Amino acid sequence: MRNRLILIFNTTRYLKKKQIFYRAFFLIKSKLFKRYTGATLTKKEFKNAIKTLSMKAKPFNSKLKDTNLFTKNLHFLNKNKKYNKIEWHDITQEKLWLYNLHYFEYLLPLTHKVDDENFDVASEVLSDWIDNNPIGYGNGWEPYPISLRIANWILFYAAYQNYFQNDSDLQNKFLNSLYRQVVYLTYFIEFHILANHLFENVKALLIAGLFFQEKKWVDRGWQLFENELNEQILPDGGHYERSPMYHSIILLGILDVVNIAVSIKQHHSGFSLSNEAIADLTNTTSKMMHWLQYMSHPDGDIALFSDSALNIAPKPQQIAEYSHAITGKTAINHPTKPPVFFENSGYAIVKFPDYYFAIDGGELGVRYQPGHTHCDLFSYEYSYKSQRFIVDSGVGNYQETELRQKARSVYSHNSVVVNGMEQAEIWKVFRVGRWIKPEFVSMNKTESGWLWQGRYHNQLNPKKAYIHTRKLILNEHCVLIEDDINVKNIFKIESLIHLHPDSQIVMSSSELAISINNETIYILWQNETLNAELKDWFYVPEFGKIQTSQKLVLQPFVEKQRKLCYVITPQKHIDEARKLLINNVSNAII
């Protein structure tokens, strides 16, 4: 009980004062005033809406095509459910699946092909939602799904406004429901959660304010939106939760705001954001696109650091094309780029002709909102050509399960485990107590390539405390990774390397050959210094997609040895890699 109370204290002491206040305020409002709010909103009607709105079609992840509204076959998180009539409150589904049901993102593919059939099936689903989701009831009326739904409904309306205007009954039903959802959201903005939740709330309020020409919503929304951009977007362009998936979602949200603001200026006499505000947002999206370009593997998808999963946000290239359509900025591609070190978010990335390598040297997350934090400091990902070889284990899920705990554990990342210690006190689904902090992280050009280095001091358990220093030497052919452990009491040191599940593996005493799709890379070490073992693990690149994989575990062969060293290289440069390894190991052994 005492340990539990300490853990709770170590979690809550980092919260902002306003989070504690608004959590209590939110609970009181949701318990006592929800019914009153619902009764009041039934009398609310919209006053005005944009008559002509020509917005660019928003991209969507490919898995949305697996949802078929005509057959009521719904596909979210790699799980299908076919309905005769959609059950909006289906108790057999997990919360995140139901959230996706209420987001209405599955309307986005219909905006790319505007026709009678798509409008008819969408209007049927929209009417059914309005009829069967009374104000304030169920998952669909929680602030986060409301926020996403508001934006998706407006995007759908923009694509099909001529159809709506030819059906006045449906238009009034739709717009009144949408208006009431926005009013309801204004009562339940998530100031207690902050981070990406608050961003989505204020983005929805701002977009809806522009759509309905409600100046009070625009003024409040823009003030909050600016505040969140200043806080959440780091100077290097990264989102402060340091998750490429959430970064992509936030970037899309900013582009949605620019999308409607530009459309109003071009096609409507109503008020919009100022040219200066639009220019500032465009500059922000440019920085964020630059960051996302580097955080993308050669296969065109994001790296899976922190709580990231594939096929939630659209691919980076799709986002770049959306940005280009709205702002005129050139869409990105994936050429070879000079190495970059994003000092604020902590990532260092090299994109050489043959391989891609990204390492995380930044804060584990946002101290007052650590819900998407993983123990992944100094973890990395590696692709050769267009194939991922060394991977992050993935997001797991958003449920209180063993898989969720393991996915966030240091054992699921390509870092070092000393004396069995985690890098953070992770508990529940989104909770974190104390955690380690990176120190002296840098990346510099040298005669032999690039040198990256950093360290951290893990004192979560004083009896097992240690200092871990990791050094990388990167050139166009190979990556050398050297770890130095400064520890008083050694019980166990493990260096972990997680392999893609498609790997065909051949292992000897001093090397591991990994082949995928006719490409082969090697991991080399010296058998006089390290012992190697393959262990079964898992890979969850998408929600609901769990694959069996293996990880290589390297441990010091010599008792009390505190240094570990290995090299990653493609087959054609193996001789060069061996020389690099020998030269460094001779200096590393105590």
User: Amino acid letter at 477?
Assistant: H
The DSSP 8-state label assigned to residue 378 in this structure reads T
Question: How far, in Å, are 46, 136, 180, 206, 209 from residue 40 at the CA level?
Answer: 14, 11, 10, 22, 20
Please tell me the predicted confidence (pLDDT) of residue 38.
60
Instruction: Count CB neighbours of 335 within 10 A.
Output: 8
Residue 416 near residue 378 (C-beta atoms within 8 A):
yes
Its pTM stands at 0.95
Task: Tell me phi and psi for residue 142, to 5 degrees.
Answer: -75, 150
Instruction: Count CB neighbours of 501 within 10 A.
Output: 16
Q: Is the dihedral of CA 2, 8, 11, 13 positive or negative?
A: negative
Task: Tell me phi and psi for residue 123, to 5 degrees.
Answer: -65, -35
Please tell me the predicted confidence (pLDDT) of residue 79.
95
Please tell me the predicted confidence (pLDDT) of residue 268.
75
Residue 318 near residue 329 (C-beta atoms within 8 A):
no
Please tell me the predicted confidence (pLDDT) of residue 335.
57
Token code pair at residue 487: 């520890």
Please tell me the predicted confidence (pLDDT) of residue 425.
94
The DSSP 8-state label assigned to residue 508 in this structure reads -
- Please give the torsion angle defined by the CA atoms of residues 415, 420, 425 and 428, in that order, rounded to the nearest 10 degrees: 100
CA distance 472 to 42: 62
Token code pair at residue 454: 């950093």
Q: What is the mean pLDDT of the chain?
A: 92
Please tell me the predicted confidence (pLDDT) of residue 589.
42
The DSSP 8-state label assigned to residue 329 in this structure reads P
The contacts found for 126-133 with CB under 8 angstroms, 24 or more apart, are 126/153, 126/174, 127/170, 127/173, 128/85, 128/86, 128/88, 129/88, 129/102, 129/104, 130/173, 130/174, 130/177, 132/88, 133/88, 133/102
Instruction: Quick: pLDDT tens for 132-186.
Output: 999 989 999 999 999 999 999 999 999 999 999 999 999 999 999 999 999 999 9
CA distance 370 to 432: 6
CA distance 272 to 541: 40
Three-state SS letters, 118-184: HHHHHHHHHHHHHHHCCCCCCHHHCHHHHHHHHHHHHHHHHHCHHHHHCCHHHHHHHHHHHHHHHHH
Task: Provide the H-helix boundaries in 268-392.
Answer: 275-294, 316-327
- Please give the torsion angle defined by the CA atoms of residues 53, 56, 58 and 59, in that order, rounded to the nearest 10 degrees: 160
Please tell me the predicted confidence (pLDDT) of residue 332.
59
Contacts of 120 (CB under 8 A, 6+ apart): none
**H or E stretch at 18:** helix 17-28
Residue 248 near residue 285 (C-beta atoms within 8 A):
no
Nearest C-alpha neighbor of 422 from the set 395, 392, 470, 459:
459
Instruction: Count CB neighbours of 492 within 10 A.
Output: 12
Nearest C-alpha neighbor of 100 from the set 64, 69, 125:
64
The DSSP 8-state label assigned to residue 499 in this structure reads E
Token code pair at residue 89: 């409150």
Task: State the burial class of residue 201 (Cβ atoms within 10 Å of its Cβ: 0-12, 13-18, 19+).
Answer: buried
Please tell me the predicted confidence (pLDDT) of residue 34.
64
- HSE at residue 116, side-chain half, CA atoms within 13 A, is 1
Task: Tell me phi and psi for residue 544, to 5 degrees.
Answer: 80, 5
Instruction: Quick: pLDDT tens for 535-590.
Output: 999 999 999 999 999 999 999 976 667 899 999 999 999 999 999 998 886 554 43
Residue 123 near residue 177 (C-beta atoms within 8 A):
no
Strand, coil or helix: 466 = strand
- Reading phi first (left if > 0) and then psi (alpha if -120 to 50, else beta), residue 194 is in left
Please tell me the predicted confidence (pLDDT) of residue 559.
66
**Sites in the chain below the pLDDT cut of 50:** 588-590
Instruction: Quickly list DSSP for 390-405.
Output: E---B---SSSSHHHH
